[in-house]
Every structure is written in structure tokens, then in C-alpha cells.
Structure 1
Amino acid sequence: MQDRKIVFFDIDGTLVDDEKKIPESAVQAVKTLQENGVITAIATGRAPFMFKHIREQLNIQTFVSFNGQYVVHNNEPVFKNPLSKESLFKLEQQAEKNGHPMAFLGSETMAANNSHSFIEKSFNDLKIIPPLEDRMFHHNEEIYQALLFCKQSDKMDYLDMFSDFEYIRWHEYSMDVVPSGGSKAEGIKYLLNKLNIDIKNTYAFGDALNDIEMLSFVPHSFAMGNGVDEAKQAAKYVTKHVQDDGIYYGLQQAGLLNV
């Protein structure tokens, strides 16, 4: 196996702060990694079109998106795992009965099956324009992730009924819907195998519930100081807050900025 190192960065709450801006110290740290020959990658629940500007700013061409369902290396897709259309349609029917809207994400764009305040609030908090309504979009496109808009107390309705999917909450009004067994860790496993990189040379930074599998799997994992307790418990180390140069501090502690 190659002895080359790779670092995976979550986006929200990790690479970007509450204002969705990347601290300058993180920008410089990523640049130093690249100059040192370390592969820099993103691991996110976002769709590729939602963080194109971040990849361009940081000169990153490798990423695990949709919580592991769409993996790209050097801007070329190397793994795709779309949701089952049959199961997705059944989930949508149940969600409509419950009064819960959904959004459907392809690799290039997205659409919602309704307009709803939960959709507006969730996307506004990401500082991303909410999807337009198109009730047929997911019938005609490969869907790698869906968003189910409901409160935390409503989650069990879907857990008991649809075992094809896993539900990862990222907002008080929204859950990611991914294939059962899917996670950032699974996408990372595929990429490491593809690139012939030893797991011992793998590093990861995250802060949220959808980072738990990744932080547990990667041997050199860092939870952000602003992260949830579950992420901190899963990680091997806890770095500083994203707004307190957490990425730079963690990479420095890992010895990756002095190679």
C-alpha cells in the first residue's frame, strides 16, 4: 500500500463557521497539507453542487458526498450508490400522509415535492437557496440522498417502517435519508481501497451526528471543540472550536503541518 496520507474534512461546523466562512487559518493549513503531499478530501452530507465553491477555494478534487453515497477522486466519480426508487416512493407516500415534505438530491441539482416552512428554515440555516418544487424530479433522476422534513419526535415513525434507509438528523427540522448501512465511513473505505491507502495514514475532522461513523473508523480522528458530545466521544482527539482555529490546531497536533 501507498504510504501517502489523506485527510477528510467535514464542512458545516468543521471547515466553515456559523457564517459559512472558512477561517483563514484553515485555508492556509489545507494549502500546507497539499504542499506536503498530503491528499486533502471532503466528507460531507451535502450534495456536490452545494460545495463546489469550497472545493474551488481550497483546490480540493476528492470528496465523499451524500454521507458516502457519491465518491469522487480527481473530479471523476468512482462510486455511486443511489437510493432505491421503489422504496423512496413508498417513503414519500408515508411522509405525505404525515404532512412531512421531502427534497430529493441528485449529483447536479435538487427539487422538493412541496413548499414548507421547514424546508425554508433548514436551507436558510445552511445559507443555501431552498430547492424549487418539482414533484416529478425524483422520478427521472438518480437520487443519492433525500431530505425528510420533520421534528425529532417524528423520527420513529419512519425507523419502524422503512428498513431500507437510515435517517441522520442534521437539523431540528430535517433528516438525511441514505441507504441502510451507508455512511461517510463506508465512502471513505471505498476510496482508501481505490487509492490503495493504508487506514493507518488516514485522518478526519468532524463535529456532528453524521460524522460519528467516520470519527470512529478513522484512526486519527478529531472532533471540533464546537462538536456535539457524541462526536467528541467517537473521536480519538478533540481540537479547538472552528472559530478558534480548530482545523489548524488539530493538524498541528497531528504533526501534519511540519512534514
Structure 2
Amino acid sequence: MGHYKILFLDIDGTILRPDDTIEDSTKTAIIEMKRQEIEVVLATGRPLHEISELAEELQIASFIGYNGALGIYEGETIFAEPMQPEDVKYILDVAAAHGHEVVCYTHEKNYLTSLESESVQAFLKQFHLRQNAIFTEGVIEKILGMTVITAGKNGDSLYEFKNGIHFSQVNVEGMQHCHDVIRDHVNKGIGVEFLLKKLRIKREESIAFGDGMNDREMLESAGEGFAMGNAHPDLFQYAKHKTTAFTDSGIYNGLKSLGLLSNKPVT
């Protein structure tokens, strides 16, 4: 058994089940990691102001949010990397030209191009986004992350990025037409590396679990990277390990394979 010190967990498709509940085995695993004095960090594309209830339920106070744009350790902000305004404007312009909707995230609120469209309403319901407002130019310098809600198939191909930006398809049932905007030098992996350096933790002492392509860099940056059984098919090649699905004790089984947990508990 290795001497591990930190565990990074994605949320959607990794911790949360389709009904927005958490498996008892996952809760047990997190409690046991804390008992073993292993730090637990939530690493998500979600805005952090929308996951306070989940964090409280799991008793977690450290986060990598907005796909790596904001890091918080034990309640203290340790890094923040807003997007370049010109990149935000380009995405908004292309979206407007093709009838796409966009969700822009700041530290305090979600700013959308529409609050009424069916696609936006479905997105807000799926991810329980409540702090919402219409986007205005006045917040363009505060944008930490974006999600583009495209229309039809291959809507993402309409965007031509030249500034180290790419799309990551949202790996949630019914939301595959949505794409997170990922920056090559601002992503979950960079956040993991920053936190490891700050805490003086070696790469081989870290573990990460994820399911979407926005988890690629995180799984590559951690010493033990696990792709969930339900992960995007393209993610497996970047993970050191494959575990079971998020609805089949994936986190528990992965940690068990490292010798950190005993037999699967009754759920």
C-alpha cells in the first residue's frame, strides 16, 4: 500500500448519481480517507457557489472549480485565473451567430445569454444552478469558465480556437450537446499540480477520479488516475486505472484496489 496524502474527486458522473444522490459506499470511502488523514478535494467544472450543500454534506472545504480556474484550500482562495475577455467575446459572438446559448461563470454568479430558452432551462435544472442572471459586458473580465449549449450535432465544430482553448463534451446523459470551455494552461490538471506544490505533496502520493474529458489533465497529473466505468470512451487512454461505474461503488472499488479500503460495504 502506498502512502497517499490527497484525493481529488470529480462530481458529476463520479460522485453524484443520476438522481443527484451519493452512494453510501462513496460517503464511507470519503470518511475513511479523512480518518487516514488523506486530504479530499472536489475538482469540478461546476461553479463553486452552487455546490455548497454538497460540500457540507461531505464535509469538504477544499476545491478546484470552474475546470481549474479557481482553487480553494480549507476555505482560502489560493489561485484564480479569469478568461481573457477577447476569448469570451469570440465564443459569445459565434454562439449568437448560430443560435447557441452560453453559460458564463464568475466567482459569485452564473451569467447566461438567455434565461428562458428550453435548452437553458434544461441545463439549469440538470445542474441545479440557482444564482443566475443575464450576461452583460460589465462582467466580462470576471469570467472564470464557460459552457456552450450547442444546437444539433457537431455544433462544436463551428468554433475555431487559436489561443490554447478547446471544448470538452459534458459527459452527462442528455447534456452531450453541451461543451465546457477548457484552457490548455488552466484546467483541473494544472490545479492539481498547483495544490500538490503548495502542500508539498509528491505526485505519487495523489489519487484522482473522473469520468469526463475535462478530467483528462487531472488524471494525468495525479499519481493514481482512475477513470470511472461510465467514463467518456476517449478518457480511458489517459487514466492509469479503470474502476467500476459511479452507480456501482466506483470510488470505493478504486480505493480498495490501492489497498486503502477493505471489502465493499453493504449499500
TM-score by length of 2: 0.88
Is 2:175 aligned against 1:163? no
Distance in 2, Cα, partners of 1:227 & 1:15: 12
Q: Which moved more, 1:93-102 or 1:114-123?
A: 114-123
Gaps of 5+ in 1: none
Distance in 2, Cα, partners of 1:72 & 1:196: 16
Is 2:188 aligned against 1:184? yes
Is 2:67 aligned against 1:63? no
Gaps of 5+ in 2: 263-267
Q: Which moved more, 1:222-231 or 1:41-50?
A: 222-231
The question of whether the paired residues in 1 share the 8 Å contact of 2:193 and 2:221 is answered with: no
The question of whether the paired residues in 2 share the 8 Å contact of 1:166 and 1:180 is answered with: yes
Q: Structure 1 residues 212 and 30, CA, compared in 2 at 3 Å: closer, same or farther? A: same
Q: Relative to total residues, which structure has the larger helix share, 1 or 2? A: 1
Which residue does 2:265 correspond to in 1?
none
Which residue does 1:119 correspond to in 2?
120
After superposing on structure 2, the runs of 4+ consecutive aligned residues of structure 1 that deviate more than 6 Å are: none
Q: Which moved more, 1:65-74 or 1:239-248?
A: 239-248
Alignment root-mean-square deviation, CA = 2.0
Shift of 1:172: 2.0
Distance in 2, Cα, partners of 1:52 & 1:231: 28
Which residue does 2:178 correspond to in 1?
174
Which residue does 1:213 correspond to in 2?
217
Shift of 1:98: 1.6
1:247 to 246, 251, 267: 251
Q: Which moved more, 1:71-80 or 1:229-238?
A: 229-238
Which residue does 1:199 correspond to in 2?
203
Report the residue type matching 1:71 in the other structure: G
1:230 to 234, 240, 247: 234
Report the residue type matching 2:147 in the other structure: L
Distance in 1, Cα, partners of 2:182 & 2:236: 23
Which residue does 2:96 correspond to in 1?
96
Percent identity, aligned pairs only? 27
- 1:31-110 to structure 2, matched below 5 A, reads 31-110=31-110
